[in-house]
Structure formats: C-alpha cells, structure tokens
C-alpha cells in the first residue's frame, strides 16, 4: 500500500469516529461549538508568535473574568484538569502542613490523595453518598486544628453534589482568615456561580473540556494574591517542576503583558480553541450562562423525577446544575441499560463513586447542549433514557 493510501486509511478511522459520533452527554468532555472546533485545526504556529501571544494573553484575561476575579493570577497549562490538584499541592503545601479536604465523592477523595503525595497531612471531612457536610460541621472541623488549606469540590462529578462555596468561603474569611480556600471547579467553572473576590476564594481550578466548552488538554487555575503571597513565603522550593508556579508565574505574566517567553511549549491549537470558547461565553454573558444552566438543570431533574426515578443528591439544594446523577430503578442494571443508550447514538456515563458505582448513571448538561436548545441535545438524551428504561422493562 502506498504512503498516501495507508495514511488516508488512518484518517478514515478518525473520520468514521467523527461522522458516526455519539452525542456526548457525559459530564465532560461536552459537545463543542463548531467555531471552537474550527480553531483546533489552525496550522502550525509558533508559541512565541506575537498573534498567538495575544490570543494567550487575552484568554488569561477572559478566564479571570469568568471567576469575577480582579487581581487573581491566572494559569493556563497544557495538561488534564487533574494537574490543577498538583499545582495546589506542590505550590501551597510544604511537608506536614494540614489540609482539610471536604469530600463529597471520588474526586474529593482523590484530591486528598494528591495532597498526601506532596507531603500534606490530610484530614478528610467526608459525607454520606449524595450529601454534603453542613456549614456547622465544617466550622467544627476547622476549629479542631489549624489548617493551611481547606479544599472543596464544587461539583463532585462522581455524585453530582454541589458544595456551598459562598458559605464556606465567607465563614473561613471571617473566622479562619489564614486558611486558604481552594475550590476544585472542574465541573462547575463557567456554569455555576463563583465570585472569587467577593466570597474570598483563594484558588479555583478547572479543565478546558467542561462548562468552558473547549476540547480537553488544558488545566486552568486562578490564584488570589493572598495565595500567591503564601506561595512566595515558602521556605522550601515547590515540590513539582512542571507544576511549579515559580516556573509559570513569569510566563503567564509575560503572556498577559504580550511579551514572548518560554518554559514549555503550550498546546497552541487548544489555546486557540479555548480563546474562541471564552469569547463566546463572554458574549453570551456569564450570569446569563449561570441562569440558563440552572433553568435547564431544574427542568431536566423535574422530568427525571416525574418518571419516578430518584436523584443521587439528597435534595435539590445540594444538586449541581451541570449534571444529573440518577439511581437505576429496581431491576435495571448498568450492564443492561448503558449499551441501550449507546446503541441509540448517545453517550452518557455510569457511576464512579467507589462503593456505589453500579447503582446510578450520570448525564452532563453543559455548554451548547444547554444554551442552544435548537440543537435538541437535552430532549434527545431524555428521549433516549426513557426509551432505554422502557426497553429494560421499566415503565414510565
């Protein structure tokens, strides 16, 4: 076979995936706008090309705005969102410092694992599956020991439970002013309300492929000036090289000042796609985006409940607006149900919370699937869930 023939066959496999693609209704990666994807195929561009530097700098500024931060230091690093945990652990924690990890599920637990990996003394404040600890419980835990950092998973993608960031941040700022408030916003940034400055949040981290609406590949984080000065007062160097803010702060500042600089080659195309996604978000209005996600989430959950199904979050006020986690009804199993969904051209997610993985499924509703109802993603996924349940013998 000639080079061209083999190569075209290679692309054919990828194209086949593209044209017969399932509608992607997992809690990230989410469906992307065509203009965002268009930016992914910009040809080779130097990471120090002035036009690219401008796009990068602009993206940093736009990302800061998404979090209502005026002075925070934004980072856009080439990695999965997970690297955000390493950035927190390796830059804000020195050996044996105390961290309170408020965990509502799989991702909270793993953030704790990451912190331990870098030497933190981690105290978990767990909660029952589907619930979150009360503010009183959190205050009680903070009173027991001096914590350098408290971490919260805004939306634990494993359970769909929403943390009360505003309540916790305001409590900490008032009563434990030296404790840093760190928010894993992987499944929340862009679609759940976060006011970094007003609430006194110190770090928010996320990935590009959730409510920001860009393909995966970028780890995004904003650190408050309070967090940056805690970082600057370290007595030991950051315990990571690639995730070290000492390497990245000068680079990010240079990008914002539209100056060329280099530490590691960024995923140029992904940054361009993120830029388009952030501009679309700004144009739609971030508050509008929050409202639209709340509205669609509410009606989505109403429909699910009207079918006699039970949500994983114990009540609506602890339920995320980016996704819905739902228990299987009696006599319906993941092994039976999920392939029926896939066969109908839609991808949703199974459970991933350790002990409860087999008991529930998860559907993401973020980005264009939410704000562009004409695409009918929401009605389609609901139809497919209904049909598949029915085929499994569950009558609605």
The number of C-alpha atoms within 13 Å of 322 and in the hemisphere containing its C-beta is 31
Measured distance CA(371)–CA(235) in Å, rounded:
47
Question: How near is the Cβ of 76 to a copy of itself at its closest, in Å?
Answer: 12
User: Which residues in 5-24 contact a copy of itself (CB under 8 A)?
Assistant: 5-11, 13-18, 21-22, 24
Site size with a copy of itself, rule: CB under 8 A = 89
> Considering only residues 286, 314, 352, 392, which one is a binding residue for a copy of itself as defined by CB under 8 A?
352
Element holding 87 (H helix, E strand): helix 83-92
The pattern of x and - marking residues 59 through 78 that bind a copy of itself according to CB under 8 A reads -------------------x
203 in Cβ contact with 221 (< 8 Å)? yes
Q: Is 358 in the site for a copy of itself (CB under 8 A)?
A: no
Q: Are 221 and 72 in contact (CB under 8 A)?
A: no
**11 versus 257: smaller Cβ distance to a copy of itself:** 11
- Near a copy of itself in 282-301, by CB under 8 A: 282-284
Residues 202-221 that bind a copy of itself (CB under 8 A): 207, 209, 215-217
Are the C-beta atoms of residues 274 and 32 closer than 8 Å to each other?
no
Tokens 């509502």, located at residue: 104
Under the criterion CB under 8 A, does residue 101 sit at the interface with a copy of itself? no
What six digits make up the tokens of 339?
Answer: 């392939």
* Interface with a copy of itself, residue 121, by CB under 8 A: no
> How many Cβ atoms are within 10 Å of 72's Cβ, its own excluded?
24
Asked if residue 269 binds a copy of itself (CB under 8 A), the reply is yes
Is beta strand 218-223 parallel, antiparallel or unpaired with respect to 323-327? unpaired
Structure-token match 């315990």, residue found: 239
**Site map 312..351 versus a copy of itself, x via CB under 8 A:** -----------------------------------x-x--
**Cis amide prior to 29 (ω within 30 degrees):** yes
The reply to whether 176 sits near a copy of itself by the rule CB under 8 A is no
- Rounded least distance, CB 95 to a copy of itself, Å: 12
Q: Which of 98, 117, 225, 303 binds a copy of itself (CB under 8 A)?
A: 117
From CA 363, how far away is CA 271, in angstroms rounded?
A: 27
* R_g of the chain computed on alpha carbons: 21
Out of 56, 68, 75, 85, the residue judged to bind a copy of itself by CB under 8 A: 85
Contact 205, 88 (CB under 8 A): yes
Alpha helices by DSSP H, listed for 206-266, are 225-232, 245-256
By the rule CB under 8 A, 99 interacts with a copy of itself: no
Give yes or no for residue 123 binding a copy of itself (CB under 8 A): no
Query: 161 φ, ψ to 5°?
Result: -85, 135
Name the minimum Å distance from CB 264 to a copy of itself: 4
User: Is 375 a known ligand-binding residue?
Assistant: no
Residue 238 interacting with a copy of itself (CB under 8 A): yes
Task: Name the segment binding a copy of itself (CB under 8 A); options: 38-46, 96-104, 136-144, 299-307.
Answer: 38-46
Binding part of the chain for a copy of itself, among 95-103, 143-151, 274-282, 297-305 by CB under 8 A, reads 274-282
Taking a C-beta distance cutoff of 8 angstroms, is the pair 111, 134 a contact?
Answer: no
Neighbouring C-beta atoms of residue 197, cutoff 10 Å: 13
Name the helix (H) or strand (E) containing 279: helix 268-284
Q: Does 112 bind a copy of itself (CB under 8 A)?
A: no
Annotated binding-site residue numbers: 362
Annotated binding-site residue numbers for substrate: 362
């Amino acid at each position: 076979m000639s080079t061209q023939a083999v190569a075209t066959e290679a692309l054919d496999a990828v194209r086949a995936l593209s044209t017969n693609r399932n509608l992607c209704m997992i809690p990230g990666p989410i469906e992307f706008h065509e203009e965002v994807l268009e930016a992914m195929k910009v040809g080779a561009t130097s990471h120090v090309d002035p036009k690219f530097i401008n796009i990068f700098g602009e993206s940093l500024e736009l990302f800061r705005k998404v979090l209502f931060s005026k002075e925070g230091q934004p980072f856009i690093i080439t990695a999965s969102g997970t690297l955000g945990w390493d950035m927190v652990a390796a830059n804000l924690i020195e050996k044996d410092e105390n961290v309170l990890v408020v965990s509502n599920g799989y991702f909270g637990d793993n953030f704790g694992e990451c912190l331990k990996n870098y030497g933190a003394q981690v105290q978990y404040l767990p909660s029952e599956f589907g619930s979150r600890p009360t503010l009183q419980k959190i205050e009680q835990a903070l009173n027991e020991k001096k914590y350098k950092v408290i971490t919260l998973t805004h939306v634990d993608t494993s359970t769909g439970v929403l943390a009360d960031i505003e309540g916790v941040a305001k409590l900490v700022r008032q009563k434990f002013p030296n404790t840093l408030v760190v928010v894993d916003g992987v499944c929340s940034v862009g679609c759940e309300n976060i006011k970094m400055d007003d609430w006194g949040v110190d770090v928010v981290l996320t990935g590009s492929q959730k409510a920001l609406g860009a393909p995966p590949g970028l780890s995004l984080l904003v650190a408050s000036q309070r967090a940056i000065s805690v970082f600057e007062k370290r007595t030991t160097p950051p315990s990571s090289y690639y995730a070290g803010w000492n390497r990245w702060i000068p680079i990010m500042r240079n990008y914002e000042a539209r100056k060329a600089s280099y530490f590691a080659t960024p995923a140029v195309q992904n940054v361009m796609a993120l830029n388009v996604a952030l501009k679309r978000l700004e144009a739609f209005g971030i508050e509008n985006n929050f409202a639209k996600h709340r509205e669609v989430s509410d009606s989505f959950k109403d429909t699910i409940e009207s079918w006699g199904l039970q949500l994983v979050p114990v009540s609506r006020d602890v339920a995320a607006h980016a996704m819905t986690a739902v228990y299987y009804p009696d006599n319906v199993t993941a092994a039976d149900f999920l392939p029926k969904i896939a066969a109908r051209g839609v991808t949703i997610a199974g459970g991933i919370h350790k002990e409860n993985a087999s008991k529930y499924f998860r559907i993401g509703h973020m980005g264009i699937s939410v704000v562009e109802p004409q695409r009918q993603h929401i009605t389609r996924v609901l139809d497919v869930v209904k049909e598949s349940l029915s085929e499994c013998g569950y009558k609605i």
